[in-house]
Chain A
Amino acid sequence: KAGVTQTPRYLIKTRGQQVTLSCSPISGHRSVSWYQQTPGQGLQFLFEYFSETQRNKGNFPGRFSGRQFSNSRSEMNVSTLELGDSALYLCASSTEGLTEAFFGQGTRLTVV
């Protein structure tokens, strides 16, 4: 069974640009969550999607958005990039509710 796949693995963007990250969950998993990891703030929850609906949202500005498709694949978008958005973005998938979450390899975003 394939694991959680995130693309791209690495990304360099310029301030003010926007970026889209992709996450394909484990087959059969309908919940996809996104997390941001930075040295200063640690691992922080961004949002969770289940059956194409955002079910939970963390404390991030509106520049961070996401969506989920009917095949459970998810994308997150960050608009008007700031230097502080440089981070490792991790995606997790799970079956439903409070079950074990499995993480992808992450997308390392650098904003210059």
Chain B
Amino acid sequence: GIQVEQSPPDLILQEGANSTLRCNFSDSVNNLQWFHQNPWGQLINLFYIPSGTKQNGRLSATTVATERYSLLYISSSQTTDSGVYFCACGVTSGSRLTFGEGTQLTVNP
């Protein structure tokens, strides 16, 4: 099956800094999503981005499907951005997603 790798595994920032999270995937995908897991465990949708570029406030994402990677950019980070960020990919019919191991982001005041 598809392999999804995220980097870095851990990231510590000072408030106001910018960051880039990376997701590499081993096969062509028809679905790619970025999530932020809140402290209570819920996965919050950030982007649905199988290809192209999207922006939502301080967050933006780019997926280069031909080169099999996606990037999540966080600008002017805030302490509330802390948590785990997951990339998930789908390749087959149906809604099966394969998740990466996540990036644990800590933003210090």
Question: B-contacting residues of A (Cβ < 8 Å)?
Answer: 31, 33, 35, 37, 42-45, 48, 50, 55-56, 58, 88, 90, 92, 94, 97-106, 108
Contacts and interface: CB of A to CB of B under 8 A. Distances in A.
Given A104-B42, A105-B42, A45 B94 contact: no
B95 A92 contact: yes
Interface of B: 30-31, 33, 35, 40-43, 45, 48, 50, 86, 88, 90, 92-99, 101-102
A105 B41 contact: yes
Contacts, number: 72
Nearest to B86: A43
Dominant SS at the B interface?
loop
9 contacts: A33-B95, A42-B102, A43-B88, A45-B96, A48-B95, A56-B95, A103-B43, A105-B41, A106-B42
Contacts of B50: 98
Nearest to B49: A100
Given A42-B101, A103-B35, A97 B42 contact: no
A102 B35 CA distance: 10
Contact of B95 (A42, A44, A94, A104): A94
B101 to A, nearest CB: 6
Given A42-B102, A43-B86, A108-B41, A101 B97 contact: yes
